Chain A
Amino acid sequence: MDMAGGKSRLTWAVNLFAALLVLLWIIPTVGLLISSFRDRDAISTSGWWTALSASEKNVIERALAPDQAKPEGDLWVLEGHVLEGQGVTVTAFGITSKEPVAFTPGDTATHARGHKITVRADGRYRIEYAEEPSESRGQRLFVRAETPPGFTLDNYREVLFAEGMGRSLLNTLTVTIPATIIPVLVAAFAAYALAWMEMPGRALLVAAVVGLLVVPLQVAFIPLLKLHIGIGLGKGYLGIWLAHTGFGLPLAVFLLRNYMVGLPGEIIESARVDGATDFQIFRRIILPLSFPALASFAIFQFLWVWNDLLVAKVFLGTGEDQVVMTGRIVDLLGSRGGDWEILAASAFVSIAVPILVFFSLQRYLVRGVLAGSVKGAAV
């Protein structure tokens, strides 16, 4: 009994801890998601957790220019609407920056220059001048307004079409899909050969591949780019596919080889006895059996290439048709660094596809990684 109780208490603790970790990751993500649907003013005046309730904000708006005032009796009158079309309720107003909320809606404020100003709760204002005004600079109206909660898709529209994220999404896909498929293909062949084809120096080859895992890819950038330019490849998609393939292969070969080594040898032997060639064994037996490992590596490679900035900066050009999403977001940080709504929306455009891929393939991820590593260790 005691032991069972202790165990359940431990399980509880583990579960609680896991829930806490999930919460820790989810909260900022949700905040970012909500912010990406709010407009700039809302973000700067209230937190995302208040997004569902009405918020109060202080706004400065310029009234129409005095020289547009129309005569009315012996007065000159300007009429207009602050925060038009936003469905706000004015709760206080003022006419100088020293006292921005001095008057309640409907009161009449008298400016130092003599004109009288009234702002009503629905946002309509009326300014009365005793003589025809000639100024072209409109009176500033300081308004405290209650804004109903509102969400907008404008951020996404702006990010995708005006800021070029749409184009960059295509560029990223152009980089990522071949840069995932090519190494998976090549590595599958190599892994089969290293696992099941007898040849001299096989162990050494495997050791060499494992050794390559520890080479930092940064040291290869400039020499590799020089090589690309030297052989006329230049900067472009072909170059980055090759680069990602090269950088991804050691891990891919290692993972897949470890997995394939663990497949039951009897099946392969009997296929050999029946006269199957190596290629037939690879295609008919190994590939279908290795699917979890292939999928898990494909997810790894996909995520890594998708989120890569450095390799893209080096091997791709800087033209509009070659800037990937990570690069675009870095540029946005510079040009729109103060616009949280734009950055939040860009971040979500960029993580949407990886999330989709992860959720649709996640069962392979766990199975493949565990299968590969555990059996590899056993060998």
Chain B
Amino acid sequence: MKKVLYASAGVLALAGTGLVYGWLTSETRNEGEEWARHEASGGEDLSHETITVLGPWLGPDKAQFEAVIHHFEAATGADVQYSGSDSFEQQIVIDTEAGSAPNIAAFPQPGLAADLAAKGYLSALPDGTADWVRDNYAAGQSWVDLGTYAGKDGNPAHYGFFYKIDLKSLVWYVPENFEDAGYDVPQSMEELKALTDQIVDDGGVPWCIGLGSGGATGWPATDWVEDMMLRTQTPADYDAWVANDLKFDDPKVVAAIEEFGAFARNDAYVSGGAGAVATTDFRDSPQGMFASPPQCYMHRQASFIPSFFPEGTKIGVDADFFYFPAYEGKDLGKPVLGAGTVWAITADSKGAQAFMEFLKSPIAHEIWMAQTGFLTPHKGVNTDVYKDPTVAKMNDILLNADTFRFDGSDLMPGAVGAGVFWTGMVDYAGGKDAAEVAASIQSTWNSIK
């Protein structure tokens, strides 16, 4: 009786993701079945294993990840329970401290994973994972470095595996508004600035910028500053800045903050005026592009933002994006800023190991790629599964980057990267002097060393 129940539940679950499967099996190389066969023959039987996963995704993202889970369950018989939380950062700390940790956690910020690793709450990934990442991920070594932390004993080990990447250096726009006004997509930062001025001359407003995000208000500005650091300074300087070897109040950093200010603190450049920047919610700010008449023409935000575009917006038709360009006059190549979720084992088990193994398989990436909003540095995946060509375009930006750098604020200590850097940027957007803001951020950093 119980078996029948399970079976019908499985059928229901599969029916929900049937579209994805149908699409995958007809268009791809059937790795899914291969993986299932491999697990069935060589892999261990996991039908009595329950694997709990805690992550930051809710809503549509959650449904998409569950499609990935269903595949794993179908292949191994294990029961995977995913729960998402908007306060993931607090939840995972409570759970690990109290000993009720999930088997696997998906951290949006490597800094937090490093903290937990230092307290001994993470289990190192199996030997060979680091080599695998080096061989199979684009810019593999950097992904290994980002996932390697010092453990409780002080010895560094590979704890974190990256799965699902966000691309941050994107500018969103409405192609038809550009056509109506006769604007071209800028290819360099100089052209972008010229376009910004031209829009103002034509009586329009070029940018929509919103920093509001509840308790995390200010974070969109940190992305701007990081992008500007990569476009005005060398990658080595960026790394030194993230490690605080280059002080926060160094003129180079202050200059990057002022580069952001050149856009955000000019009343004519921003929809609603500079005063609205800090108070507009980041989820509401792109709406201005879709208003009639348009309240702004461009919006710089990461690859996830289409979730907050008006209902029915088709990417590639109603809205599109271009690479946030680099200065032509500076020889810094095409730097790309990104972020990603890092997966780590918080309570080791046979099932947890198997699931991490599964995340390496191309099918785990392709199932999500076939849906939406999923980027991966995995070189072995079939990029044909991208339903819409714009996401493939994003992945190309990622794979072709001269320099890829991880979101600096996510790597800084929590009190800075998820604290004074955010609030400092709000102060700066509100009119405070850049050098003063940078000095106060540095003084906080000094105090936690």
Contact = CB atoms under 8 A, between A and B. Distances in A.
Interface of A: 40, 44, 58-60, 62, 96-100, 137, 140, 142-143, 221-222, 225-226, 229-230, 234-235, 313-314, 317-320, 323, 327, 330-331, 333-338
B292 A318 contact: no
B293 A226 contact: no
B107 to A, nearest CB: 15
Contacts of B405: none
Nearest to B318: A62
Contacts of A62: 318
Q: Which 5 A-B pairs have the closest CB atoms?
A: A334-B86, A318-B83, A338-B283, A335-B59, A225-B98
B58 interface: yes
Contacts of A143: 292
Contact of A226 (B81, B85, B99, B292): B99
Interface in B383-398: none
Contacts of B86: 330-331, 333-335
Contacts of B291: 58
B8 interface: no
B347 to A, nearest CB: 12
Contacts of B184: none
Contacts of A337: 213-214, 281, 283
A144 to B, nearest CB: 8
Given A60-B292, A142-B293, A319-B83, 16 more contacts: A40-B311, A58-B291, A59-B292, A60-B290, A97-B174, A97-B176, A97-B177, A98-B180, A100-B293, A318-B54, A318-B91, A319-B81, A320-B83, A333-B86, A337-B281, A338-B281
A62 B87 CA distance: 39
A331 B176 contact: no
Interface of B: 54, 58-61, 81, 83-87, 90-91, 94, 97-100, 174, 176-177, 180-181, 213-214, 281, 283-284, 287, 290-294, 308, 311, 317-318
Contacts, number: 87
Given A98-B180, A314-B94, A334 B58 contact: yes
Contacts of A99: 293
A140 B60 CA distance: 28
A346 B142 CA distance: 43
A377 to B, nearest CB: 40
A238 B283 CA distance: 38
Contact of A229 (B100, B174, B294): B100
Contacts of B318: 62
Nearest to B86: A334
A97 B91 contact: no
A97 B54 contact: no
5 contacts: A96-B180, A100-B293, A225-B94, A318-B83, A327-B85
A313 B292 contact: no
Contacts of A142: 292-293
A235 B94 CA distance: 12
B94 A317 contact: no
Nearest to B83: A318
B292 A331 contact: no
Nearest to A41: B310
Given A318-B91, A335-B58, A337-B214, A229 B281 contact: no
A100 B98 contact: no
A99 B81 CA distance: 52
B90 A313 contact: yes
A222 B98 contact: yes
A109 to B, nearest CB: 13
A369 B59 CA distance: 43
Nearest to B181: A98
A235 B100 contact: yes
Contact of B94 (A98, A137, A221): A221
B100 A137 contact: no
A45 to B, nearest CB: 9
A338 B284 contact: yes
A62 B283 CA distance: 24
Contacts of A235: 100
Contacts of B290: 60
Q: Which of A100, A314, A334 has the largest number of chain B CB atoms within 10 A?
A: A334
A318 B52 CA distance: 10
B91 A313 contact: yes
A99 B292 CA distance: 9
Contacts of B292: 58-60, 97, 100, 142-143
A286 to B, nearest CB: 40
